[in-house]
């Protein structure tokens, strides 16, 4: 489990500007208050971005990650409200060394973004290419 992080007004405003997504559910309090959820919410993809940041804070791939390879089966299960405090629950599903390049492998993880009430707001699979033990040993030997 990761450390927690509170989603702020600044997060939503800056993400809206960076992404170009100014949907009134994110940017207009009056509009959003009349919506089915009753308040402004964070962008779904902001939640995904928070997942990657919280994953980095866990530190499992410090010095070993090579590349993000994909996101699969991502679902948005509940809104993330401004002021929600979320954490990441990450479960390794598989870790396979590459046959063609034994210095690296693929780790597949189930990622769940959980709010302060224990509600899973988003869930999906992320695959990451990482250096294998053999790759790390070779790198250390060459330095």
Question: How does the average pLDDT of the chain come out, rounded?
Answer: 93
Range in 12-21, 36-45, 58-67, 88-97 with the lowest mean pLDDT: 58-67
Measured CA distances, 67 to 96, 126, 128 (Å): 15, 11, 6
Per-residue pLDDT, 106: 95
The closest of 98, 79, 88 to 38, measured between CA atoms, is 79
What is the SS3 string spanning the chain? CCCCEECCHHHHHHHHHHHCCCCHHHHCHHHHHCCCCCCCECCHHHHHHHHHHHHHHHCCCCCCEEEEEEEEEEEECCCCECCCEEEEEEEEEEEEECCCCCCEEEEEEEEEEEECCCCEEEEEEEEEEEECHHHHHHHHHHC
Do residues 61 and 47 lie in contact, with contact meaning Cβ atoms separated by under 8 Å? no
pLDDT digit string (tens) for 29-65?
999 999 999 999 999 999 999 999 999 999 888 889 9
Q: How confident is the model at residue 94 (pLDDT cuts 50, 70, 90)?
A: very high
Which domains, ranges and CATH numbers included, belong to the chain? Answer: 5-142 (3.10.129.10)
Q: How confident is the model at residue 99 (pLDDT cuts 50, 70, 90)?
A: confident
With the C-alpha atoms ordered 33, 82, 109, 117, is the resulting torsion angle positive or negative?
Answer: negative
Among 5-19, 30-44, 47-61, 121-135, the minimum mean pLDDT is found in 121-135
Residue 143 above 70 pLDDT? no
The percent of residues in the chain predicted with pLDDT above 90, rounded, is 83
pTM, two decimals, is: 0.88
């Amino acid at each position: 489990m990761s450390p927690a992080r509170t989603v702020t007004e600044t997060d939503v405003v800056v993400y809206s500007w960076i992404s170009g997504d100014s949907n009134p559910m994110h940017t207009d309090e009056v509009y959003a208050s009349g919506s089915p959820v009753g308040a402004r919410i964070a962008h779904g993809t902001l939640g995904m971005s928070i997942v990657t940041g919280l994953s980095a804070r866990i530190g499992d791939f410090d010095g070993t990650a090579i590349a993000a390879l994909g996101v699969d089966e991502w679902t948005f299960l509940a809104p993330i409200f401004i002021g929600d405090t979320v954490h990441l629950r990450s479960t390794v599903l598989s870790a396979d060394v590459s046959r063609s390049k034994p210095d690296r492998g693929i780790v597949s993880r189930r990622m769940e973004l959980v709010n302060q009430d224990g509600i899973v707001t988003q869930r999906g699979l992320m695959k990451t290419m990482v250096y294998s033990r053999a790759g790390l040993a070779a790198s250390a030997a060459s330095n």
